[in-house]
Amino acid sequence: GQQLNQSPQSMFIQEGEDVSMNCTSSSIFNTWLWYKQDPGEGPVLLIALYKAGELTSNGRLTAQFGITRKDSFLNISASIPSDVGIYFCAGQTSGNTPLVFGKGTRLSVIA
């Protein structure tokens, strides 16, 4: 089945640093999404991307839909303690197909 390779698996960074994570696939997706999950909660959508090459921001977060449609990137600038959590990428082929998730990047921020 379809799989997403998300890296890195975990990151420890200092408060104020920038963060980059990415997601790659052997399959093409027409939608890429980035979610964040806090402990004890379900994932919350951060950014949705619908077009190859698209670059979208949400506050300090910026995500890009790769040109090949097989990858996506998420950057967080000037990290703060509340950025701690697990970040998941997800791909979708069409509206009627389920989301395929990466295994997540666990982010820890050291104050």
Partner 1 sequence: KAGVTQTPRYLIKTRGQQVTLSCSPISGHRSVSWYQQTPGQGLQFLFEYFSETQRNKGNFPGRFSGRQFSNSRSEMNVSTLELGDSALYLCASRADLTGFAATNEKLFFGSGTQLSVL
Instruction: Enumerate binding residues for partner 1 (CB under 8 A).
Output: 1, 30-31, 40-45, 48, 50, 88, 90, 92, 94-104
Q: Is 16 left (phi over 0), alpha (psi -120 to 50) or beta?
A: left
Q: In the numeric block, which tokens belong to residue 16?
A: 């104020």
Q: Cβ 26 to partner 1, closest distance in Å? A: 17
Q: Cβ 43 to partner 1, closest distance in Å? A: 5
Judged by CB, which is closer to partner 1: 3, or 77?
A: 3
Q: Cβ 41 to partner 1, closest distance in Å? A: 5
According to DSSP, the residues that pair with 55 across neighbouring strands are 64
Peptide bond into 98 cis (omega under 30): no
Judged by CB, which is closer to partner 1: 59, or 95?
A: 95
Judged by CB, which is closer to partner 1: 41, or 111?
A: 41
Give the DSSP H/E element, type plus range, for residue 33: strand 31-37
Q: Cβ 33 to partner 1, closest distance in Å? A: 8
Helix, strand, or coil (residue 83): helix
